[in-house]
Amino acid sequence: MRAHDRPQTRRAPLRVAVMGTGAISKEHLTYLAGRSPVIPDRGLVELVGVCDQSPAAAHYAADTFGAGRAFTDLADMLESASPEVVHVLTPPASHVGLATQCLQAGAHVVCEKPITTNSPDLDKLLEIAADHGRQLMESHNYRFNHGFRQLENLLNSDRLGPVRSVDIRIALPVTDADERFGDPNLPSPIHQLPAGVIHDFTTHFSYLLLRLTGDVVFDRMATAWSNHAGLAHFRYDDLDALLIGNSDRGPIHARLRFEADSGPDTFAITVRGTEGWAEIDLFQPYLRAVLPRPVGSQLSPVANHVINGWQLMGHGIRNLSRKIMQITPYEGLHRMLDETYQALTEDRPVPVTPAEMLAASRLVDTVVSDQFRF
């Protein structure tokens, strides 16, 4: 019996399958196997199959994570394992076709980013999902990270005041030859995206920025795309984008930076409001907030230094513990999946909504377009 033929009872465990067993599959499969280091096993899912065009990869994943069966053909897996949810974890260019196949077979789809290479394709895919009464969700994993949620809570408390600027900076040595994208021998399919490797990160930039700024319309923009290392298989290895827009609480400036030639690895977000500012790093988690403290304006700077110093020491100890306990920056992905499965088992909307996905995708389209380049 195929998934869409079954009665629509929403009881755990849901039958789940995974399409694609590359590096990111480890995080999805760890959660699905009930082995997440940050989320206890709630018995929400049953891993019924994994599929990869490489039989060795499919069997390895099935054996390692206790999946019911290994497949090398998606149609076969949809027919034989009858999953209610499929995680599509293949290269971006294949997402539309594979997700469509899953939705048409009656399965909900959780898809790695970017779910499509442009927003019109996402529109169509969402239509297909709606037509089949299934949910479609793109992984916006970093917004579920503990540090980002702390930052959101701080914003929601209004202690920073209305947001005036957001700076998101990713530094990763993607051009190194021993890194996944730097390998010149068999260039990653990611290089085929319109903005190459950095395109893969613009989804993160976009959904994080929109979470922090709300319904802002960025009507002025300047983007500088560079290939500083000059590697032939790279379109770009550096992005410097400035966005200016208006919200109902005033103007907002945003800067999005991707750099391959600075270290150490960084995923830093700084938010400045009218009353104070805060910064986090998702790779080496910490939160530093400079706020008006209840000791008066004269002593607030001193209080901020003392409080932040104390808290930074605490973050240092926690990060050592995280390292030992193998809690990586993908902790947010585990939390996202857990919230997704809680929603699906209770027949509620998944935590990343179609509207959020479309807004992020449209912002990506704008950032990577030629319209604002200098």
C-alpha–C-alpha distance, residues 266 and 2, integer Å: 44
13 token code pair: 């465990």
Distances in whole angstroms, Cα of residue 220 to Cα of each of 170, 205, 258, 364: 22, 17, 19, 15
CB of 60 or CB of 372, closer to other proteins: 60
Residue with tokens 């319109």: 194
C-alpha–C-alpha distance, residues 55 and 123, integer Å: 33
CB of 177 or CB of 355, closer to other proteins: 177
Using CB under 8 A as the binding rule, whether residue 180 contacts other proteins is answered as yes
- Give the SS3 label for residue 75: helix
Give me the helix-helix angle, 196-213 and 354-368, nearest 10°.
130
Figure out which of the listed residues 26, 235, 255, 293 binds other proteins, where binding follows CB under 8 A: 26
C-alpha–C-alpha distance, residues 317 and 311, integer Å: 10
Residue 47 CB, shortest distance to other proteins, in Å, is 18
Q: Which of the ranges 41-49, 117-125, 173-181, 204-212 carries the binding residues for other proteins, by CB under 8 A?
A: 173-181
Figure out which of the listed residues 60, 69, 303, 343 binds other proteins, where binding follows CB under 8 A: 60
Using CB under 8 A as the binding rule, whether residue 264 contacts other proteins is answered as no
Using CB under 8 A as the binding rule, whether residue 326 contacts other proteins is answered as yes
Residue 337 CB, shortest distance to other proteins, in Å, is 18
Using CB under 8 A as the binding rule, whether residue 54 contacts other proteins is answered as yes
Residue 242 CB, shortest distance to other proteins, in Å, is 34
User: What backbone torsions phi and psi does residue 359 show, to the nearest 5 degrees?
Assistant: -60, -45
CA-wise closest residue to 28 among 65, 69, 53: 65
Figure out which of the listed residues 22, 68, 162, 194 binds other proteins, where binding follows CB under 8 A: 22
C-alpha–C-alpha distance, residues 183 and 174, integer Å: 9
Residue 324 CB, shortest distance to other proteins, in Å, is 5
Cβ contact 352:336 at 8 Å: yes
CB of 118 or CB of 328, closer to other proteins: 328
CA-wise closest residue to 78 among 110, 111, 54, 102: 102
Using CB under 8 A as the binding rule, whether residue 13 contacts other proteins is answered as no
Residue 333 CB, shortest distance to other proteins, in Å, is 16
For the chain, list the strands marked E by DSSP: 14-19, 45-51, 70-71, 85-88, 108-111, 136-138, 163-171, 217-226, 238-247, 250-259, 266-273, 277-281, 287-290
Using CB under 8 A as the binding rule, whether residue 325 contacts other proteins is answered as yes
Residue 56 CB, shortest distance to other proteins, in Å, is 5
Residue 265 CB, shortest distance to other proteins, in Å, is 14
Q: Which of the ranges 99-107, 177-185, 290-298, 361-369 carries the binding residues for other proteins, by CB under 8 A?
A: 177-185
Residue 187 CB, shortest distance to other proteins, in Å, is 9
Figure out which of the listed residues 5, 8, 23, 219 binds other proteins, where binding follows CB under 8 A: 23
Q: Note the residues at the interface with other proteins (CB under 8 A).
A: 22-23, 26, 37, 54-57, 60, 64, 177-178, 180, 183-186, 323-326
